[in-house]
Chain A
C-alpha cells in the first residue's frame, strides 16, 4: 500500500500524470470547440475528441477485425524482426572477425544500407510472389541494417586486453570467439535489436498502408497500418486515432519485452 502511495504521490509520477491529463484535456477542448464555443480552433477543431475516440475504441474491442489487424501486424513485425536477427547477428559477427569477409561484403552492405526500407516497397512487390512476403521483407530490411551495424560496431570495439588475456590463458580461437567476442557483443545486440524493433514498427505500418491498401482479391492485406488507412478512406476518423494509439501500445509492449530479455541476457550490466 505504501509503495503504491509513494508511486502515485511521487513528484515525477504526479508530473507525468498531470502532463498526460493536460494534454488530453486540451485536445478534448480543442476538438469540441465548435460544438462548445461555436467556432473551431484551427487544425485541432477537425480531429476527433479523445472521449469520442475512447467510445469508438470500446466498441472495437469486441470486433474480431480489429484484433485481426493487431495479429497481422505483430506477425509481420515478428517475422521480419526475427529474420533480421537470425541473419544479421551472424553477418555482423563474421564481418567483425574476418577481414576477408568484411572486405567482400561490407561495400555492398554499405551501399544498400542508406536506401530507406520504404523505397524497397515497389521492388519488393514485384520480386516476392505474395503480398505477405513483400511486406515482411520490407519489415525485415528495417531491422536488418540496424542490427548488423550495431553488432559489427560492438564486436569491433572489444578491448584488445580481453583478447590478450584470453590468449595468454590458453584460449583457442574458437574459445575466444565463444567466450569473449560473443558475450562482449551481447550489449550491442540488445541495443541494436531495440532500435531495430522501433524501425520495424515504423516500416510495417507504412508498408501496410502502401501495399495492403492497394486491394487484393478478397479485401486487403490487413494489419494496423491498413486499419488506419481504411478508416481514413472510409471517413471513420475516430478509428484512425484508435489505430495510432494501438500501434503505440504494441510498439511499447515489444520494446518492454526486449528490454526484459536484454536484461536477462546481460546480468553483469544490471547493477551499474
Chain B
C-alpha cells in the first residue's frame, strides 16, 4: 500500500531522462526480406514521465526499445537522450550504458549470483563503488523495496514477483535516467501483477526516473502511465497518444473510477483495430 505521506512528483520535475525519437525507421534484412519494423516514428518523452507503449504483438515496439537501449541499430532517424545523440545517421547503433537499463520480459537476473550480488553488479562493474560499499547500498535499496531477507537467496529461490522487484532494484542501483520495461509482468498472474504495479509506482515516486514501458495490457497501461502511446501494427508508429489525467499518486482504487472506465473505452477500440490488423497479417507472438 502507498504510504500516506507520499507525494507524486509532477511530470517532468526531473531534469534528466528526456527521450526524443525523431523519424526513426528500422528495416530488418534490407537487402532481401526488407521487413519494416518501425516506420518514421516520432515521439517525445519528458524527463520523469511514465510513457506506456501499447501495441499488438510483434508490432515493433521492442525494436524501438532495443534501439534506445543500444542493442539494435536503426536504419534512419535519430534518438536523443537529454539532447545528446544516442543513435542517428552517423552512428546507427547506440552504446549501451547504465543511464538506460532494460527490465526484460522474462527477467535477466543472473541466476548464478545471489540477489544482493545481482543488485550490486552494475556499480562494481562501472568502478563507481568498492564491493563492500556497493553491498551496503544494495542492501539498503533492497530493504527500501521490501526485499529484506532475500539478499542471499538466488533469484531461482524466490517468487517471480519478488524476482521482478529485485530486477527493478538492480536497474535503479545504476542510477539510470531511463528505465526501459519490455512487458516485464507479462508472465505474472493478475493478482501478482496488481501488487507489482503498486510496488512499481511506489518505487517510481521515490526515484522519479523516466519510464518507457511496453505492454499490451490496457489496464496496466492506463493504471501506470502518464501517457499512452498506442502503436499501429507493424510497421510500428504512434497511432494515438492519450494523456491519462488521473492524478498520481495512484493506487488500485482508481480502477473502479468512472474516469478509468472512460479511458479504457477510448483506447480499447483503437487497440482492438490494430490487434485485428496484426492478427490478419498473421503476426506471431513476440
Point out residues on A near B: beta carbons under 8 Å: 159, 161-162, 164-172, 175, 179-180, 183-184, 186, 266-269, 271-272
B126 pairs with A169, CB closer than 8 A: yes
Q: In the assembled complex, how far is the CB of residue A131 from the closest CB belonging to chain B, in whole angstroms? A: 43
Q: A168 — which chain B residues lie within 8 A by C-beta?
A: 69-70, 96-98, 100-102
A164 pairs with B154, CB closer than 8 A: no
A162 pairs with B101, CB closer than 8 A: no
Q: In the assembled complex, how far is the CB of residue B62 from the closest CB belonging to chain A, in whole angstroms? A: 12
B96 pairs with A167, CB closer than 8 A: yes
A170 pairs with B125, CB closer than 8 A: yes
How many angstroms between the C-alpha atoms of A172 and B126 in the bound complex? 9
Can you list 7 A-B contacts (CB < 8 A)? A165-B104, A168-B97, A169-B126, A184-B112, A266-B112, A268-B113, A268-B154
Q: How many residues of B contact A (CB 8 A)?
A: 26
Q: B83 on the interface (CB 8 Å rule)? A: no
**A169/B111 contact (C-beta < 8 A), A164-B71, A164-B96, A268-B156 known:** no
Q: A159 — which chain B residues lie within 8 A by C-beta?
A: 108
Residue of A with least CB distance to B180? A168
How many angstroms between the C-alpha atoms of A166 and B104 in the bound complex? 13
Q: B212 on the interface (CB 8 Å rule)? A: no
Q: B233 on the interface (CB 8 Å rule)? A: no
- Mask: chain B, 108-131; 1 = CB below 8 Å from A; 0 = not: 101111000000011001110000
How many angstroms between the C-alpha atoms of A186 and B161 in the bound complex? 27
A169 pairs with B156, CB closer than 8 A: no
Q: In the assembled complex, how far is the CB of residue B128 from the closest CB belonging to chain A, in whole angstroms? A: 8
Q: A269 — which chain B residues lie within 8 A by C-beta?
A: 156
How many angstroms between the C-alpha atoms of A166 and B111 in the bound complex? 13
Q: B215 on the interface (CB 8 Å rule)? A: no
How many angstroms between the C-alpha atoms of A167 and B126 in the bound complex? 10
Q: A271 — which chain B residues lie within 8 A by C-beta?
A: 154, 156-157
A161 pairs with B125, CB closer than 8 A: no
B102 pairs with A170, CB closer than 8 A: no
Shortest 5 CB-CB contacts between residues of A and residues of B = A169-B122, A170-B126, A161-B108, A183-B112, A268-B154
Q: A166-B125, A170-B174, A268-B155 are in contact. List 4 more A-B contacts (CB 8 A).
A: A168-B98, A172-B125, A180-B110, A183-B113
How many angstroms between the C-alpha atoms of A123 and B157 in the bound complex? 51
**A183/B110 contact (C-beta < 8 A), A168-B69, A169-B174 known:** yes
Point out residues on B near A: beta carbons under 8 Å: 69-71, 96-98, 100-102, 104, 106, 108, 110-113, 121-122, 125-127, 154-157, 174
**A272/B98 contact (C-beta < 8 A), A164-B69, A169-B126, A183-B112 known:** no
How many angstroms between the C-alpha atoms of A272 and B122 in the bound complex? 26
Residue of A with least CB distance to B153? A271
B111 pairs with A268, CB closer than 8 A: yes
Q: A186 — which chain B residues lie within 8 A by C-beta?
A: 112
Residue of A with least CB distance to B111? A268
B121 pairs with A268, CB closer than 8 A: no
Residue of A with least CB distance to B174? A169
Q: A161 — which chain B residues lie within 8 A by C-beta?
A: 104, 106, 108
Q: In the assembled complex, how far is the CB of residue A175 from the closest CB belonging to chain B, in whole angstroms? A: 6
Residue of A with least CB distance to B127? A170
A162 pairs with B125, CB closer than 8 A: no
Q: A164 — which chain B residues lie within 8 A by C-beta?
A: 69, 71, 96, 102, 108
Q: B69 — which chain A residues lie within 8 A by C-beta?
A: 164, 168
Q: In the assembled complex, how far is the CB of residue B124 from the closest CB belonging to chain A, in whole angstroms? A: 9
Q: In the assembled complex, how far is the CB of residue B167 from the closest CB belonging to chain A, in whole angstroms? A: 9
* Pick from A170, A179, A184, A266: contact of B97, CB under 8 Å: A170
How many angstroms between the C-alpha atoms of A96 and B84 in the bound complex? 36
Q: B155 — which chain A residues lie within 8 A by C-beta?
A: 268
**A170/B98 contact (C-beta < 8 A), A180-B110, A268-B112 known:** yes
**A165/B156 contact (C-beta < 8 A), A170-B97, A171-B125 known:** no
Q: B100 — which chain A residues lie within 8 A by C-beta?
A: 168
How many angstroms between the C-alpha atoms of A183 and B110 in the bound complex? 9
Q: In the assembled complex, how far is the CB of residue B171 from the closest CB belonging to chain A, in whole angstroms? A: 9
B110 pairs with A162, CB closer than 8 A: yes
Q: In the assembled complex, how far is the CB of residue B243 from the closest CB belonging to chain A, in whole angstroms? A: 30
Residue of B with least CB distance to A165? B108
Residue of B with least CB distance to A170? B126
Q: In the assembled complex, how far is the CB of residue A176 from the closest CB belonging to chain B, in whole angstroms? A: 9
How many angstroms between the C-alpha atoms of A272 and B154 in the bound complex? 11
Q: B156 — which chain A residues lie within 8 A by C-beta?
A: 268-269, 271-272
Q: B104 — which chain A residues lie within 8 A by C-beta?
A: 161, 165
Q: In the assembled complex, how far is the CB of residue A189 from the closest CB belonging to chain B, in whole angstroms? A: 13
Q: In the assembled complex, how far is the CB of residue B286 from the closest CB belonging to chain A, in whole angstroms? A: 14
Q: B110 — which chain A residues lie within 8 A by C-beta?
A: 162, 165-166, 179-180, 183
Q: In the assembled complex, how far is the CB of residue B123 from the closest CB belonging to chain A, in whole angstroms? A: 8
